Homo-oligomer: A and B are copies of this chain.
């Protein structure tokens, strides 16, 4: 068992100003925990890291093929997109194929997560819509499942709707945690969110990778879509897109809010879950990169695009570099 140190520091001048504790669990394809940081059994919400499992029932039910969707639609449903015009148009097209529109989405509007998405929206003079919500692909897929299954589409976000019950069963199956033991609450986008120990999250990603490399149909389709469409999983300046692109799909990563992240090293069947204890996103990217470097899935000398996520410079209001965010130097 490896004991990892993934804590992230914020420096100013020569001193550390703030510190982030990062918990982690690394699980292999047999379900064994092979490495930890702090408490690998800490329980938190899986947030958007659950998306690949929340779209599975639609694929298993054959509803996905009935509506004629392909890898682009699947990647968007698994992703936390940047609200860029391509993402918004694709989410709208997904709704159109099932005879629905923005107003049918249960998620609320928020500003695009990608800087390009924000800029293009601002320049258009429009306000953000529900389609700009980073979860609009997931919501369109949930609506498609309700639609093809013949269930009411109104209320698809509620805990007792068969769509959410089906997602809970899927999360239970992949994480290895009984459905009755999975805490539930309301996510940022209004659907059910699942609480799990980190090692169960890592276990689900390890199994997803393992089943994909062994060509099980649904896991393979999901992993393939994420591997080959990094822009649709995130966006032009999004962390997950940068990692998937830089590793040519050997690694898939999925961000969640409040400092949770899930990762699969696909060919090795390894799953990783991390949680920044305080929830700060600024700490999760350096930690994810460090654990991937530990497993040789990323090089020590990072390409510039990833180096920016691993070691971010801090500027003050005068534009001076005053510190950075990174793992402590060894």
Which A residues contact B (CB, under 8 angstroms)? 10, 12-15, 17-21, 43-45, 106-110, 133, 183-190, 193, 195, 258-259, 276-280, 283, 316-320, 322-323
Q: How far is the CA of A38 from the CA of B320 in the complex (A)?
A: 33
Additional 14 contacts, C-beta under 8 A, given A15-B185, A15-B195, A17-B45: A10-B258, A12-B186, A14-B183, A15-B183, A17-B279, A20-B278, A21-B21, A21-B278, A108-B317, A188-B316, A189-B318, A190-B316, A190-B318, A280-B280
Q: How far is the CA of A201 from the CA of B272 in the complex (A)?
A: 41
Nearest residue (CB) in B for A135 is B317
CB neighbours (8 Å) of A190 from chain B are 316-318, 320
Q: How far is the CA of A19 from the CA of B276 in the complex (A)?
A: 9
Q: How far is the CA of A106 from the CA of B322 in the complex (A)?
A: 15
Of the A-B pairs whose beta carbons lie under 8 Å apart in the complex, a sample of 27, sorted by A's number, is A12-B45, A12-B193, A13-B184, A13-B186, A15-B44, A15-B45, A15-B195, A17-B44, A17-B258, A18-B276, A18-B279, A19-B278, A21-B277, A21-B278, A107-B317, A109-B317, A133-B317, A185-B323, A186-B316, A187-B316, A187-B322, A188-B316, A189-B316, A189-B317, A190-B317, A190-B318, A190-B320
A139 → B minimal CB distance (Å): 11
